[in-house]
Amino acid sequence: MIARAALKAATRDAHGRVDKAFGAHDLATRAGYARFLLGQAAALAPIEQALTEAGAALLIEAWHEHRRAPLLTADLAALGLASPSPLPAPRFADEAELAGGLYVLEGSRMGGAMLRRAVPDCFPSAFLSARQHPGRWTRFAASLDTLLYSPQRRDAAVGAASRVFTCFEQAARQVVEA
């Protein structure tokens, strides 16, 4: 798991900033949860679309059914909220960059399951409850060493992952400032 460890180490600070930015929202309150979902939606939907256009289906099995933006949109609608304007998404120029972007989104699915525990049962939570298919993360993480076999490819993946984290961080700040 050399590539996965490299991605994790290189993006630790960016990941921490995103966690801190979204952690400012109290998911146990309607207002806090709504801001959290709005921030997630501003980044997730355009990133998922960019990943789709770059060929995510080649790296993640059943990618189209795996996307979480529709679940997020449904949760917002159940709260009576419209989806926010999307932020510009990073572009993924090659397979290495695609792997870096997917690393962030696939990892966030596991974080979502932990965050779900803080959300009252009376709030819609399809987005945070989206299940990871058994073995999908393990297979994807294992594929990173094959996909990111050179330092140059790992650097490209780190750059893409960092841009994805930056997009989420901007979305979180945008919601706080609104």
Cα(57)–Cα(51) distance, integer angstroms: 9
Q: Which whole-number Å values give the CA distances from 9 to 18, 78, 101, in the listed order?
A: 15, 37, 15
Model pLDDT, residue 158: 98
Which of the residues in the chain have pLDDT under 50?
none
pTM across the whole model = 0.94
Q: Which residues of 53-85 are buried (b: 16+ CB within 10 A; e: fewer)?
A: ebebeebbeebeebbbbebbbebbeeeeeeebe
Model pLDDT, residue 61: 83
8 A C-beta contact, residue 49 and residue 92? no
Q: Which whole-number Å values give the CA distances from 49 to 34, 45, 63, 107, in the listed order?
A: 22, 6, 11, 17
pLDDT, tens digit (0-9, with 9 covering 90-100), for 27-48:
999 999 999 999 999 999 999 9
Residue with tokens 């594929």, as numbered in its chain: 143
Kindly state the tokens that stand for 72.
């997020």
